[in-house]
Amino acid sequence: MGKPTGFMEYQRELPGDRSPAARIGDWDEFHLPMPAEALRTQAARCMDCGIPFCHTGIMVGGMASGCPIHNLMPECNELVYRGLWREALARLLKTNNFPEFTGRVCPALCEGACTAGLATAPVTVKNLECAIIDRAYGEGWITPAPPLVRTGKKVAVIGSGPSGLACADQLNKAGHLVTVFERADRTGGLLMYGIPNMKLDKRVVGRRVDLMTAEGVTFVTNTEVGKDYPAEKLLREFDAAVLCGGATKPRDLPVEGRSLKGIVFAVDFLRANTRSLLDSRLADGNFISAAGRDVIVIGGGDTGTDCAGTALRHRCSSVNQLEIMPQAPWTRADNNPWPQFPRVCKVDYGQEEAAALYGSDPRHYCVTATKFVGDADGWVKEVHTVNVEWVRDEKGALVPREVPGSGKVWPARLVLLAMGFLGPEDALLTQLGVERDGRSNAKAEYGRFVTNVKGVFSAGDMRRGQSLVVWAINEGRGAARECDRYLMGPTRLA
């Protein structure tokens, strides 16, 4: 490394954020840029650790450890430290098709496995990754690079989320003619409509889609394969197909009062808000407004945070998040050692904003809803809950048990269900005759990605279940490699 003692000389620093009071007044990204010299100092903290764990991307004791796409961050960091930004970009793009996405929304599995984190704070890998690609776009280093030779093979990619985009990008680089089908009106899948604009500006997504279009990828929107486009046509009109439709079936909460108005899935709330924001800056009113409402978010993950942040920007009256699981510890527990990803409690942007506005963190742990109560017009007005404690049953599994006398009534005029997703929707897989695994996902072995239907592959959340953007990119790249091997025999795709 260029500065072997850097991790001892410099403290970990992240870019500042706009104040919560300021940023809830708009939908812009809230992280502030970091000066180039400060970024070089942070890159200098990357130690000469001999065997870097940050880019391993393996499972350790059932937990992820390191980057699933194997970004060579020690090499990128050294190049940034030396001021060789363009060379750092080239090294980063060897493994990551979309650093502008992972640099914004990835939880940074790499940092959880950073060796410097054993002695001090880990290197700011995620921030450096984002800085490299943003500088590259700003300097004009990112330009269309269509393949020099076309194979004549046609491949359909179903879904334009992170796995579909990564798969299409790789297959296009191999020279195939790639068509990406997207049922929504805009390309990007989860990146476009599942993540709010303040966390991932949609101009960033559009910029990448425009680049891929210039490189020869064809995008077909407003077209749902299996509905608008018969599934059997895929097998007639294309030499291969890769199913990257995601895990889009939301988990419901079937308790008394569920049919009341004002109880909606988080994905519907977020999707409508982003579409209206892009169409009219919310002037058309085609979204579910939280303005002036007491909002209850059920679910404490990233999607729950996004719901809280969106509701605050609508100027809700209050927001509370209910989470059935216990609060994670603030530091690593004994059963969560390095280099596993640290399962620790963090204050994300939505909670920080709510605390600034209302004086406290909106999350409430070990709480579950038992029923919803409505008003005379059929709108939800209350959420009834109980506290739970987690105990082991006769098989040794942890199960929730109601705490007697812990009932509570929460005022609620909007309830957002953010409890994750159960798996892919049925229509396309059924029409193609694709076998399912025990969790209803497309059955396709990791590493091969091929289904039981000849020439049909699957990747991302449709294959593995709900997961991270970085895992989706990993799978999209892997499926592209195996699809290329199927079409051509040998493959040069990594």
| pLDDT tens sequence across 129-166 | 999 999 999 999 999 999 999 999 999 999 999 999 99
Q: What are the distances in angstroms from CA 153 to CA 168, 171, 486, 488?
A: 13, 10, 11, 9
Identify residue 68 by its one-letter amino acid code: P
Average pLDDT over residues 184-204: 98
Q: Which residue type, as a one-letter code, is found at position 49?
A: C
CA 487 to mean position of chain CA atoms: 30
pLDDT band for position 4 (50/70/90)?
Answer: confident
* Residue 208 confidence (pLDDT) above 70: yes
Q: How far apart are CA 20 and CA 17, in angstroms?
A: 8
The 10s digit of each residue's pLDDT in 335-365 is 999 999 999 999 999 999 999 999 999 999 9
Q: What would the mean pLDDT of 463-486 be, rounded to a whole number?
A: 97
Joined together, the tokens standing for residue 158 give: 């179903």
Give the 3-state secondary structure of residue 185.
coil
**328 contact partners, CB below 8 Å, separation of at least 6:** 343, 344, 345
Task: Find out whether the peptide bond into 339 is cis, omega within 30 degrees of 0.
Answer: yes
Start-to-end Cα distance in the chain: 26
Query: How many CB atoms within 10 Å of residue 431?
Result: 15
Residue, of 201 and 119, whose pLDDT is higher: 201
What pLDDT, in 10s, does the model give residues 300-329? Answer: 899 999 999 999 999 999 999 999 999 999
d(CA 268, CA 245): 17
**Ranges of H-type helices in 1-158:** 6-9, 20-23, 36-44, 73-81, 85-93, 99-105, 109-112, 125-139
Tens-digit pLDDT profile for residues 48-67: 788 899 999 998 888 889 99
Contact assessment for residue 457 and residue 451, using Cβ atoms and an 8 Å cutoff: yes
Alpha-carbon distance of 310 to 397, in angstroms, equals 36
* Secondary structure (3-state) at 169: helix
Give me the numbers of helices (H) and strands (E) for the chain, helices first please: 17, 18
What are 397-415's pLDDT values in tens digits?
Answer: 999 999 999 999 999 999 9
pLDDT higher at 279 or 50: 279
Q: Are strands 318-323 and 363-365 parallel, antiparallel or unpaired?
A: parallel
- According to DSSP, residue 194 is labeled I
Q: Spell out the domains of the chain, with CATH numbers in brackets.
A: 6-139 (1.10.1060.10), 154-248+423-488 (3.50.50.60), 252-419 (3.50.50.60)
The pLDDT tens digits for 13-22 are: 999 999 999 9
pLDDT for 1: 65
Residue 2 has pLDDT above 80, yes or no: no
| pLDDT on residue 424 | 97
* Rounded alpha-carbon distances, angstroms, from residue 109 to 15, 103, 122, 384: 19, 12, 11, 37
